[in-house]
């Protein structure tokens, strides 16, 4: 899994080491941090592109993110695609949550799913919410889910 910075620069160490360095650097500078993780996808013909982001927010001072992009040729319906996004976010959250607990950094998992029944993605809302909450994570959906709907959305090829 190749993670990179927003600049496109590849991360040479593991994402866990990179996030820990960032936490130490930012808290050392006096910032209170929160981490938001989200995934978005885009279907282009037979290919689905996924982008997962780890957003580190500095309270009242902006933030920065790490990105992982993946491509799949598996055909997925809207609900399956939404739940695959959630699964990718949960896997990422699970891989860094112990580290965040050590440094007392809050974590949210964002799902690019609309809370309005008028939207197709809403079909996956209850399943996604149950999945995320059952893993012990804080869940946010649109419009609060900026990590998936704004940040990851910009990173999907």
The pLDDT tens digits for 90-141 are 999 999 999 999 999 999 999 988 888 888 888 888 999 999 999 999 999 8
**Max CA distance (Å), the chain:** 47
pLDDT at 118: 87
Average pLDDT over residues 39-63: 94
Residue 35: its H or E element? strand 33-44
Contact 82, 111 (CB under 8 A): yes
Residue 28: its H or E element? helix 15-28
pLDDT at 157: 63
Number of H helices, E strands in the chain: 5, 6
Whether the pLDDT of residue 77 is over 80: the answer is: yes
Q: Which comes out higher in pLDDT, residue 110 or 157? A: 110
- In sequence order, the β-bridge partners of residue 95 are none
Contact 75, 44 (CB under 8 A): no
- In sequence order, the β-bridge partners of residue 63 are 57
- Classify domain 3-155 at the CATH topology level: Nucleotidyltransferase; domain 5 (3.30.420)
C-alpha distances out from residue 95 to 61, 66, 116, Å: 26, 14, 31
What's the residue count for the chain?
157
């Amino acid at each position: 899994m190749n993670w990179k910075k927003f600049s496109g620069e590849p991360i040479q160490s593991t994402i866990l080491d990179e996030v820990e360095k960032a936490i130490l650097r930012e808290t050392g500078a006096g910032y209170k941090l929160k981490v938001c993780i989200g995934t978005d996808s885009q279907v282009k013909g037979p290919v689905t592109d996924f982008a997962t982001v780890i957003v580190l927010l500095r309270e009242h001072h902006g933030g920065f993110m790490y990105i992982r992009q993946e491509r799949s040729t598996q055909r997925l319906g809207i609900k399956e695609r939404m739940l695959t996004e959630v699964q990718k976010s949960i896997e990422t959250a699970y891989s860094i949550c112990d580290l965040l607990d050590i440094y007392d950094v809050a974590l949210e998992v964002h799902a690019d799913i609309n809370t309005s029944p008028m939207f197709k993605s809403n079909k996956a809302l209850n399943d996604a919410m149950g999945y995320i909450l059952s893993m012990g994570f804080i869940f946010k959906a649109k419009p609060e889910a900026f990590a998936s709907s704004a940040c990851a959305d910009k990173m999907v090829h």
